[in-house]
Amino acid sequence: MLFAACSPAVSAFAAWNLLKPGEIAEQLNDKTPSAAFESENVVNINESVTSGDYIFTLLAIVSGKDITDHTTYSSDDIRADRTYAVVAIQRTDGAPMPSYDDDGFTPFYISPYVKGQKPWQVNAHTLGGGHAEIFADGVLYHMVEFDNITMFADCGVYLGIHEGSFPNNYVFISDEQTGELKANPEYEGVSALFNLPIDKSLADPEKAEQYIANLLNADEDDKSSMNHDTDTNDDNIFIDDNALSDIDWNDAVPVAASIKEISPWENGTFFYEWNSDEYGIVRTAITADDFDESIEPQSVINIKREGIIDGIIKWAVRFEKDENGVVKGMIVVPK
């Protein structure tokens, strides 16, 4: 089956200098997936996308009921019916990829997405995903796994990659009419998107429908714990800790390094993103409607958090608009 690239940046890639998927699984001490990547069920892809300073190469995928030794989180039962994919990440300048302890290390989130389903509802987190990584000869290899996605073969399935450790609802956008997923042209970070070449005869529409229904009917608290990013297309629902609501956030002090001027997207959304060792990766947004029409300076607090940074610390994200209409986002902490 031909691999249909969904981005003009996707091209054939000579993978002779990369480890084979089975070798990667072997180095990760995953014997059963290693054998699966050598079986007749494997789909070798070897397609690459260049984005920013990185080359992302999707090497292969394999699905089946007997390709893992991993147990579930809640019991000693072996995880059944899984899909594995292997991705290699290289720098475009040929320099080695930085490892965990190196300056400049960047985490990447690799996730399947289903055509016609919202990416913040169906992704690696909600599909029971997991991953492992190795560094070899300057290349970062990800082996990712999740529930068997062949059930969605008749719908169409993607594999998306972006910077960060959690789902980011602004990297890829879904066409409301067709359900097609594409890169958000207003997202300035690194990303890649592949169409997965899954045999449509493997589809199980009834199972897929029930699976999606179970996800959408999940408890809201569970969904919040799996999806750490906010979504401006879902009634502007932001994760909020009521225990922090008694703090006078309007009197909170900005973290100077976090202050960023923000230009609105075409739909009026102001997207704020900041990454630091202390606060991790912070992504959230508000819309123009969250400000009133007054030309007076004003501010909006949209998320509040509590974390451990040299002790327990409370913080929030504040958006400020000045008298000239300039909007800035920032992390703020109580006085």
DSSP string of 179-247?
Answer: --EEE-TT--S-EEEEE----GGG--HHHHHHHHHHHHTS-HHHHHHH--S-BTTSTTB----GGGTTS
Higher pLDDT, 256 or 277: 256
User: Distance between CA atoms of 215 and 210, rounded to whole angstroms?
Assistant: 9
State yes or no: pLDDT of 8 exceeds 90: no
- The confidence score (pLDDT) of residue 254 equals 93
Domains of the chain by start residue, with CATH: 10-224 (2.60.40), 242-333 (no CATH)
Higher pLDDT, 271 or 72: 271
Q: How far is CA 262 from the centre of its chain?
A: 22
State yes or no: pLDDT of 218 exceeds 70: no
Mean local confidence (pLDDT), 31-50: 86
Mean local confidence (pLDDT), 193-197: 94
pLDDT in tens, 84-94: 999 999 999 99
State yes or no: pLDDT of 145 exceeds 50: yes
The fraction of the chain above a pLDDT of 90, given in percent, is 33
State yes or no: pLDDT of 133 exceeds 60: yes
- Which of 85, 108, 82 has its CA nearest to residue 21? 85
What length is written for the chain?
335
Q: Which of the 8 DSSP states describes residue 296?
A: S
The pLDDT confidence band at residue 221, using thresholds 50, 70 and 90, is: very low
Cα separations in angstroms, 12 against 9, 143, 146: 10, 20, 25
Least confident of 15-29, 93-107, 202-216, 302-316: 302-316
Collapse the DSSP code of 284 into the 3-class scheme (helix H, G, I; strand E, B; otherwise coil) and give the result: strand
pLDDT in tens, 317-334: 999 999 888 999 999 998
Quick one: tokens of 271? 């997207």
The pLDDT confidence band at residue 310, using thresholds 50, 70 and 90, is: low
Tell me the average pLDDT of the chain. Answer: 79
- The confidence score (pLDDT) of residue 247 equals 80
Quick one: tokens of 156? 């169409």
